[in-house]
Amino acid sequence: MKTENKISYEINLETLQDLINIENGLFKPLTGFMKSADYTGCVHEMKLADGTVWTVPITLDVDEETVAKLNIGEKLFLTSNGKEMGSILVEEVFETDIEKDTSIVYKTLDTNHPGVRKEFTRNKYRVGGKTEIIDKSILEGTLSPEITKKHFKDMGWKTVCGFQTRNPVHRAHEHLQRVAMDLCDGIFINPLVGWKKIGDFSEDAVVDGYMAMLENYYPEHNVFFMSLKTQMRYLGPREAVFHATIRKNLGCTHFIVGRDHAGVGDYYGRYEAQELVRKLQKENDLGIYFLLIKEPYYCKICGHIVSESSCRHRDDDIEYINGTMIRSLLAKGHEPDERFMRKEVADAIIELGEKMFVTEE
Ligand code: ADX
């Protein structure tokens, strides 16, 4: 091998995670970072060049200096903290219009949007091509379809519902999950623990909260819990479809999309993700069934967590499960009312103190 011409590029943790997820088959049919036809199709049509529905760009951005050194057909070696982790076969180098594409994908250029802010830190040059992992040790313990599909098979589950989350479990989540448990043989609770914005709940808060839920409330025979490492994009509807695609690749037959899935602020409508799923489903086989569930809330008359699909009462008779309110109570070390969050879950999170939140991006 000619080592003298070896070109390396230092990638950040999010890109390293993409590399791992590509290798593990979570982003199937992608076998590397997108080339321009896939990228353009994804941005404008939500489809790859071969017509597969694909809603979130997965690209490798590199700086201008590196672009100048690249030759088509050669490998670019990808390092993390100086260590060679993988490589990409340089099949194509292309330029993106970050502003234009971001406005299409994110539907906003507001830098208060954490995903937009992150896009603006990237280089406009992208390298597309098949990737490989060199240091296989980084794959140890990572989420892969081999692990999940084996578990589902061992458990004898024919139908499995995937549940995406970036938050500790509250009673609205619990309602959605119990609906799935009643409908499917198993539920795969798969919290996303990669890069998140400052102020979001930390990985520890999400995981510790779920451990309390699993130990105290959920049955063992139909729940599988394991984290998904990838960055949050805060892309609302597009990300909901992307999240479902990952879970389909992991062997799920069903996927839950509730209110404001993967949303942030009020950039996307409360049920816009569900609307996109319905629209895409009309023209395409997405390969997974969706449980599109309306917002659960507490009804004082019914004395239950219900939704507008299952309860006739409105206005003063109902109490919404308000995530912001739960968050501010936990931050002060107070347990939210049990109608909104289980005491054991709240206590596990409160115990973390300041560590319950993401403090740096
Ligand atoms: S997300 O960014 O991962 O979507 P979150 O953890 O809050 O955030 O949501 C996980 C899933 O539960 C998503 O499908 C979301 O739509 C749904 N969800 C969360 N809170 C509610 C709620 N109050 N009502 C309905 N669905 C909800």
Instruction: Give catalytic status of residue 167 as yes or no.
Output: yes
Which pLDDT band holds residue 5 (cuts at 50, 70, 90)?
confident
Question: Is the CB of residue 167 below 6 angstroms from any atom belonging to ligand 1?
Answer: yes
Residue located via tokens 């091509």: 129
Instruction: Give catalytic status of residue 24 as yes or no.
Output: no
| Mean pLDDT score, 209-233 | 98
pLDDT in tens, 177-189: 999 999 999 999 9
Residue 4: the pLDDT is 60
Which is it for the CA torsion 139, 145, 146, 148, positive or negative?
positive
Question: Is the CB of residue 166 below 6 angstroms from any atom belonging to ligand 1?
Answer: yes
pLDDT in tens, 113-157: 999 999 999 999 999 999 999 999 999 999 999 999 999 999 999
pLDDT in tens, 60-76: 999 999 999 999 999 99
What is the pLDDT of the chain when averaged over all its residues?
97
pLDDT in tens, 247-289: 999 999 999 999 999 999 999 999 999 999 999 999 999 999 9
Residue 361: the pLDDT is 82
Phi, psi of 225 (to 5 degrees): -125, 125
**What ligand 1 atom has the least distance to the C-alpha of 256?**
14
Using DSSP's 3-state secondary structure scheme, residue 306 falls into strand
C-alpha 116/C-alpha 109 separation (Å) is 6
Orientation of helix 203-216 relative to helix 343-350, angle to 10°: 150
C-alpha 189/C-alpha 142 separation (Å) is 16
Distances, alpha carbon 35 to alpha carbons 30, 98, 239, in Å: 10, 16, 20
pTM for the complete prediction?
A: 0.97
How close is the Cα of 307 to the center of ligand 1, in Å? 14
* Percent above pLDDT 90 for the chain: 98
| Mean pLDDT score, 329-355 | 97
Q: Which of 21, 24, 122, 166 is catalytic?
A: 166
